[in-house]
Structure 1
Amino acid sequence: MAKKGSNTLFQGFDYSRKMEVTGILIMAISVLLLLSIASYHPDDYAIVQSISYDSLLQVDQGPALRVNNWLGVFGAYISYFFVSTLFGYVSILIPVIIFSIGWIVLRQESISEMAWTVAYGLWMIFLLSTTAGWFYNRYEAYSAAWSGNSGIYFSSILQNLTGIGSIIILFVLLFVSLFILIDRDIQKSIDRIQGWSPNFSLDFLNRLKPQKKDSPQPQSQTQTQPTTRVERQRRAEEAQKNSSQQREEERRERTIDEIVEQSQERDRKRELERKKESADLENKPPRAVLERATDSEVDPNSEDNDVEISVIVGEGDEEASAKELDRKNKQKAKEVPVIKYKFPQVDLLDSPPNEGNDVDLEEIKINKKIILEKLKRHKIEILSINAIVGPTVTLYEIEPAPDVKISKIQSYANDLKMATAAHGLRIMAPIPGRSAVGIEVPNKTRETVYIKTVLNTKKFVETEFALPIALGKTIENEVYMVDLNKMPHLLIAGATGSGKTVGINTIITCLLYKCHPDDLKFVLIDPKKIELSLYRNIQNHFLAFLPGSEEPIITDTDTALETLQSITKEMDERYDLLKMAMVRDIKAYNKKFDNDELDEELGHRHLPYIVVVIDELADLMMTAGKQIEEPIARIAQLARAVGIHLVVATQRPSVNVITGTIKANFPARMAYQVASKVDSRTILDTGGADQLVGSGDMLFSNGAGMTRIQNAYVSTTEVEKITSYIGNQKGYKKPFHLPVIEEEEPGIPDPLDEIDELFKEAAKLVVLHQQGSVSLLQRKLKIGYNRAGRIIDQLYNAEVVGPFQGSTARDVKISEEEELDEIFDELGI
């Protein structure tokens, strides 16, 4: 009996082979068509018309042997149709287009990507044929085979309508079409041509300006005019000034690579002189040093001329080549042929504007001067200072003198904040892993980190993480990426408007771009009811929910509690499967299952990762309290090995929301801007989040230090495009349902002889103390845990106590002994 997985693999293989054969056939037809058009001869069609069916069967004689076309009679017909009837020799581009389509089919790529190329190719065939037809009608300078009858016909109509203006129209269309071929943007092409001679337009405009009467006339090489010593000196000064301006312009036009080489060389010399280079500094990522300046450039009278500053901008991660992410996703989709699925394309994301993050050197110099002057007043000597420019803040790395106490610098944080007039100044004393103190000052002009610039990098495209999340960019302009599978859970906190919801969208978007729906499912809990509603479109692919649920996005507290309890049951079932398969984690289990080493009849199945996203924990804790805390804590403690991960967010990081039990099981924390230091300590166990500047500025901690990151921005429009792209595809035949929790119906045990002999005494104890706990019965009745637990279950079935509530004792439903006696009478005890 063949297994289901084997049938699916065979079907996927068969489809792939069909596409390859189809692509090869299309390419072969295009080659034959190319040979036919290339060997066109005007006399072949007359010969073909005189051929009868009988003469075609004559092997060594007959008119068919006089045909010049390389493909014989068939080729003569085809070439006559394309060359003579249609567009002339320009028709040779048609087989080129057909060959390209065949190649796309062979590679099993999207044919829609060829739409623009095919349309452009057909337009150029028509335009070139009509242009050639115009010259044939006007001058008959060459054979009609260069334009074809169609080209002659369309050019004749154009000449009748516009006369001599027809050739101008044709040349303008050719000119515009060539520009579109280069850039698809005429303005960009003009800018490129202008860039070949940067001063061309400026020189041309200067020549058009009339010369002023009082301005000196340029001397020609053949004329000499007597000049005085003063005049010669003045001209020499002007020439020197002009040359210095030219040198300044050339310096600004230098490429980043030249600046990097020169600046890094200066840094190496300086580090060798001081002999204080450490191993951590050697392992830092490469930086681009833009400029080194002293205070003398800002204020010549400054006393701190001996302290230099290096303005540093991180080079950022290498950008992936065009469509590289899409190509890798197509290969990944073929590896999991359960459904025919296409990953979302990078083109669905918004491209960042062309302007980059311009470094305001003047702002950096002023801040450097303020910091040095303020510290000098408090007798704190600084040896060196570096400015690392990030998208949101600039980090000033300060190297104090050996005898300076670090705590002394940190005590002047408020003074520096007032002096720089910056909201959110933050001091790191010292910077983790470096022998320096860091002062983070927000930039006046912030750079938006678009998610496309984060996802379209080699770091993200080539990652081997199971659940990769690219959070954004660090101060050094590096993409900060983590694996949710290793974290294994994430706790997020931030005030309203700080970027928390955008951060959740960024996490989900990263997973959608790298994970197949067969390997990942989301459980989305949104008490606010509107934040995660956009993901309703992907319910047939990525969402997991309870059977019979009206909405795939969970918004009701009772349903949220039931769902979390269902996930704990799913977790227990998965552990049983791993135990049967004798493996330790979900990755090894799925590998065994895919290799047909596990029998489906025993309950084995492919286990996708499950990511539970809770957008507002505070609302659930307010309404459900301990009942919500218990399954969250249990999942956080145990679910890592079976591929279940939590992403929990709240805008109120207080101790009654983020309890000690929850914090202990969430080592990975993300903190956006919060209202107070108390909130910062609650989420991060330290201050700092209260000094963030909002709009995606965050601190990330994973148990070893903190990293400041500018969250990648993904807009609502982008999320709608991605979910629509996925939702419009054919999904699974049935949704991914979570297991149902079966509740025991309360009732009196039957038969009666199964009631424990201590049942009556235990019931009286519970009612007397109004506490339904196993430990109470153990102490008072001096019995073991198992027996006390069975008696509590019997009291629950008899409706004396309420249901199980985790670590809290059960509620007692009986308050009077008379009610208890009635129950005893019904039981006959």
Structure 2
Amino acid sequence: MAKKKQNNFFSNLNYSRKMEVAGILIMAVAGLLLLSIASYNPTDYAVVKSLNSSSIFQIDQGPALRISNWLGMLGAYISYTLVHTLFGYTSIIIPIIIASLGWFVFRQNDLGELGWPAAYGLWVMVLASTIFGWFYNRFEAYSMSWSGNSGIYVAGILENILGLGSIILLLVLMFVSLLILADRDLQKTFEVIQSWKSDWKSKREQKRKEKNRKKEEKKREKEERAVIQQRQKADAAMKKEEKQKQSEKNGEPASIDDIVERSQKEDEEREARRKKESAELEKKPPRAILEKKPEETVDEEDDDVEISVYVGEGDEEASDKELDRLNKSKAKEVPVIKYKFPGIDLLTSPPNEGNEVDLEEIKENKRIILDKLKRHKIEILGINAIVGPTVTLYELEPAPDVKISKIESYANDLKMATAAHGLRIIAPIPGRSAVGIEVPNSSRETVFIKSVINTKKFVETDYELPVAFGKTIENEVFMIDLTRMPHLLIAGATGSGKSVGINTIITCLLYKCHPDDLKFVMIDPKKIELSLYRNIQNHYLAVLPGSDEPIVTDTTRAMETLESVTKEMDERYDLLKMAMVRDIKSYNEKYDTGELDDELGHRHLPYIVVVIDELADLMMTAGKQIEEPIARLAQLARAIGIHLVVATQRPSVNVITGTIKANFPARIAYQVASKVDSRTILDTGGADQLIGRGDMLFSNGGGMTRIQNAYVDTDEVERITSFIGSQKGFKKPFQLPVIEEENEGIPDPLDDIDDYFKEAAKIVVLHQQGSVSLLQRKLKIGYNRAGRIIDQLYNAGVVGPYQGSTARDVKIEDEEDLEEIFEELGV
């Protein structure tokens, strides 16, 4: 009997242990399936099909080693079946169900409880796979690995039956499935949601009532205090009046204190009326045309001078999805690469508060201006105030007999009277019979790039290279087409907003131009300003072949890059000549219609924008040599779609030379240190009166426009470049043509060796310095002759190549080697 009980015990123990082992094995299999699906690679199955029995047993070599799946050949086959053939990545639900089964077996739970969750998981897997398949069939928005062939097939059948209604049905089924996951009773789920909604509304209504009750209590207390104070004042005034009457009856004159008190009382009543009028005006919307004839002016003679306050309403804002919709259709027109434009949601939204108009500040400035001009016998008939984000423009209408130069001569007096930094006088305003005085606002409005880009003016523009710099004084978006400029010169002191301005230009172009139509050549000697754009090198950047860095930071490479762009310009002109067209737009239209043959070298020509962030550093290190390719590009590159954007923080005549200025009609000046710098960049004063932080003057040969530059944050640039860089672009950046190495363009000067050649060679070897100035001093000859001798020494192998402002290296160390060169040359 005891032996029988012992056998039953061991039999029960063995069954329990078997179930635990089986559960662990089932969970292990589920884990292996999960790893196989997670490491799925579409190319593994082709390798599996090429395997044979002998290749499996090759340890150190063989095609099996090329399989990237974590479970090897078996994992590649399983993942291909589950992901590619069946239901895509949603097949991951299968190993989850198997793992749950293993857990139930391990814990020896009732397997019947697993039935409903397993059926629900399989249903959600098929449903999600079908939804992904529908979007793949319609848009091809992602890889078919998300849906699998089965999901694509089922989605295709549904779409054939129901059309667009199929996705509505699928989404409704998914919504119902999620509700079932939350609670199997749908009625109960809806009741819970309605109870949450009603609770939220009741709490909100309760808070609103409590807030209104507190406001009413405060208002009531304030009115009661005002009534009490008014009664007290009335009683005090009555007593004083009785006392005064009694004194007058007795023949006593009114005291000085009574007269002063009466005057103060009248002043208080007048001040109260003025505050009441100001409060009524401030209740009106800030973005409206406000006109008011104030009662109080400088003095009685100025009561007839009216002031009209105007605040521009700004450009109409585009809808949130309008830019994305237009860019999506534009991306479909260029089928070279599948590209998605950055969305407006990547930009920082401006705060809700608008640019409130400070009427008190406007009235005070108007009073000061009229008072100061009146003291100098200058009569003003009318004045208007145009309020901008940074400055307010006061338009003065002087009397007919007033000289304009007389008003302009009192600029410093007005600046001192208003205590304003950066007051600027426009005498007269172009196109108007008025004089303008720009006074900075005490509180400035930041113009965010999103408020500029998300406008109908920018979204619906047909410009080829649209750039929206910011907003004018009238609060309008200022936008230009870079192809019509055709080049842009930017200057300003450190910290005035140049780098932000360059980011604004690049950001606007990224939001409107497809990578197939636009390429950037970025030269940044400071090495940090344009480094954020290296993420978009395969989409938008153009580089030299074999270049390690997409952003040019080395001076030598900058020279090579500009020469390469010059060669690209020459090649493009040859293509336009063969195509018999005059500009790049006509050429691309002719190429797209198939009229030009690829075998003759014809190709699609994208616009190329060359961005140079610091010209002064290039001019300092590379000297005048860097000026030649810049001048050539500025003179000739407009028709073939190459445009320059050149910036410098040192607008001096040795940086912005006459050759450069003559070919850059479009110029932007930020705040500079002196009037000389302003005249250098703009040919007139005014930039020295700017107030920094994006405040700029734009000139295109016909007058100047004051603009508040749109602000682009570094985080915004990072989000945009990361979004573009994460997409599949071209295999490599756009390749600029290679420059063949030449002898610096020197004709072989050894045919006619200079008489001073031997003596010059000895001087160079003795001093170990290949310098033209050294030969000038030692041989007492001119610059041109010394330069020719240096060229002959270079061709003879005595000195090295040209190195900019640095002296050439000397390759010969002693006179013995030099004598051998003389014998070879026969000198």
Q: TM-score w.r.t. structure 1 length?
A: 0.65
- What is the letter of the counterpart of residue 543 of structure 2? F
CA contact (8 A) 2:760 2:789 kept: no
Partner of 1:359: 357
CA contact (8 A) 1:426 1:439 kept: yes
Which of the residues 673, 683, 693 maps onto 2:691? Answer: 693
Structure number with bigger Rg: 2
Partner of 1:704: 702
Partner of 2:341: 343
Matches within 5 A, 1:629-648: 629-648=627-646
CA contact (8 A) 1:612 1:644 kept: yes
- Provide the rounded CA distance (Å) in 2 between the counterparts of 1:424 and 1:210: 44
SS in 2 for 1:303: helix
Residue 150 of structure 2 corresponds to residue 150 of structure 1: no
Partner of 2:56: none
Matches within 5 A, 1:399-418: 399-418=397-416
CA contact (8 A) 1:471 1:503 kept: yes
SS in 1 for 2:557: helix
Deviations 1:65-89 (A, max 9, x none): xxxxxxxxxxxxxxxx9xxx99xxx
- What is the letter of the counterpart of residue 197 of structure 2? L
| Cα gap change, 1:245 to 1:711, in 2 (>3 Å) | closer
- Provide the rounded CA distance (Å) in 1 between the counterparts of 2:746 and 2:485: 47
Shift of 1:658: 1.0
Shift of 1:573: 1.1
- Provide the rounded CA distance (Å) in 2 between the counterparts of 1:736 and 1:392: 41
Shift of 1:315: 1.5
- Provide the rounded CA distance (Å) in 2 between the counterparts of 1:514 and 1:609: 13
Shift of 1:591: 1.1
Deviations 1:710-737 (A, max 9, x none): 0000100100100000000011112211
CA contact (8 A) 1:521 1:611 kept: yes
CA contact (8 A) 1:569 1:739 kept: yes
- What is the letter of the counterpart of residue 291 of structure 1? E
Which of the residues 553, 560, 563 maps onto 1:562? Answer: 560
CA contact (8 A) 1:801 1:813 kept: yes
CA contact (8 A) 2:320 2:344 kept: no
Residue 577 of structure 2 corresponds to residue 579 of structure 1: yes
Deviations 1:776-828 (A, max 9, x none): xxxxxxxxxxxxx999999864458987999xxx99999x9999996564256
Partner of 1:305: 303
CA contact (8 A) 1:326 1:343 kept: yes
Matches within 5 A, 1:493-512: 493-512=491-510
Partner of 1:666: 664
Residue 794 of structure 2 corresponds to residue 759 of structure 1: no
Shift of 1:293: 3.0
- What is the letter of the counterpart of residue 605 of structure 1? R
Shift of 1:581: 1.2
SS in 2 for 1:485: helix
CA contact (8 A) 2:472 2:705 kept: yes
- Provide the rounded CA distance (Å) in 2 between the counterparts of 1:724 and 1:732: 16
CA contact (8 A) 1:746 1:798 kept: no
- Provide the rounded CA distance (Å) in 2 between the counterparts of 1:391 and 1:539: 36
Partner of 1:334: 332
CA contact (8 A) 2:749 2:791 kept: no
CA contact (8 A) 1:627 1:805 kept: no
- What is the letter of the counterpart of residue 490 of structure 1? L
CA contact (8 A) 1:367 1:420 kept: yes
Deviations 1:531-577 (A, max 9, x none): 11111111110111112222111111111111111111111111111
Partner of 1:420: 418
Partner of 1:59: none
Partner of 1:715: 713
Partner of 1:221: none
Shift of 1:583: 1.2
Shift of 1:474: 0.3
CA contact (8 A) 1:398 1:436 kept: yes
Matches within 5 A, 1:165-244: 170-175=193-198, 205=217
Partner of 2:678: 680
- Provide the rounded CA distance (Å) in 2 between the counterparts of 1:304 and 1:122: 76
Partner of 2:92: none
| Cα gap change, 1:203 to 1:502, in 2 (>3 Å) | closer
| Cα gap change, 1:651 to 1:423, in 2 (>3 Å) | same
Partner of 1:141: none
CA contact (8 A) 2:179 2:189 kept: no
Partner of 1:518: 516
| Cα gap change, 1:387 to 1:813, in 2 (>3 Å) | farther
| Cα gap change, 1:125 to 1:355, in 2 (>3 Å) | farther
- What is the letter of the counterpart of residue 367 of structure 2? K
Deviations 1:317-366 (A, max 9, x none): 11112211111000110000111000000010011101000000000000
- What is the letter of the counterpart of residue 470 of structure 2? G
- Provide the rounded CA distance (Å) in 1 between the counterparts of 2:672 and 2:645: 19
Matches within 5 A, 1:544-559: 544-559=542-557
SS in 1 for 2:302: coil
- Provide the rounded CA distance (Å) in 1 between the counterparts of 2:351 and 2:560: 46
- Provide the rounded CA distance (Å) in 2 between the counterparts of 1:213 and 1:403: 57
Higher-helix-fraction structure: 2
Partner of 1:292: 292
Partner of 1:20: none
| Cα gap change, 1:692 to 1:791, in 2 (>3 Å) | closer
- What is the letter of the counterpart of residue 661 of structure 1? T
CA contact (8 A) 1:127 1:174 kept: no
- What is the letter of the counterpart of residue 151 of structure 1? L
- Provide the rounded CA distance (Å) in 2 between the counterparts of 1:214 and 1:450: 45
- Provide the rounded CA distance (Å) in 2 between the counterparts of 1:566 and 1:556: 15
- What is the letter of the counterpart of residue 638 of structure 2? R
More moved, 793-802 vs 611-620: 793-802
Deviations 1:676-722 (A, max 9, x none): 11111111111110100000000000111110000000100100100
- Provide the rounded CA distance (Å) in 2 between the counterparts of 1:213 and 1:411: 54
Shift of 1:764: 6.4
Residue 416 of structure 2 corresponds to residue 381 of structure 1: no
CA contact (8 A) 1:698 1:708 kept: yes
SS in 1 for 2:647: strand
- Provide the rounded CA distance (Å) in 2 between the counterparts of 1:671 and 1:732: 37
SS in 2 for 1:628: helix
| Cα gap change, 1:374 to 1:120, in 2 (>3 Å) | farther
Partner of 1:599: 597
- Provide the rounded CA distance (Å) in 2 between the counterparts of 1:351 and 1:367: 33
SS in 2 for 1:357: coil
Shift of 1:204: 5.3
| Cα gap change, 1:315 to 1:170, in 2 (>3 Å) | closer
Partner of 1:624: 622
Q: TM-score w.r.t. structure 2 length?
A: 0.65
CA contact (8 A) 1:126 1:151 kept: no
CA contact (8 A) 2:278 2:359 kept: no
- What is the letter of the counterpart of residue 387 of structure 1? A
CA contact (8 A) 1:763 1:795 kept: no
Shift of 1:297: 3.5
CA contact (8 A) 2:750 2:795 kept: no
CA contact (8 A) 2:297 2:303 kept: no
CA contact (8 A) 1:130 1:152 kept: no
SS in 2 for 1:492: strand
Shift of 1:291: 2.9
CA contact (8 A) 1:127 1:170 kept: no
- RMSD value over aligned CA atoms? 4.9
Unaligned runs of 5+ in 1: 1-80, 87-94, 134-148, 156-166, 180-185, 217-241, 257-286, 750-754, 773-788
Partner of 1:371: 369
Residue 733 of structure 2 corresponds to residue 735 of structure 1: yes
Deviations 1:389-412 (A, max 9, x none): 000000000000000000000000
- Provide the rounded CA distance (Å) in 1 between the counterparts of 2:169 and 2:579: 53
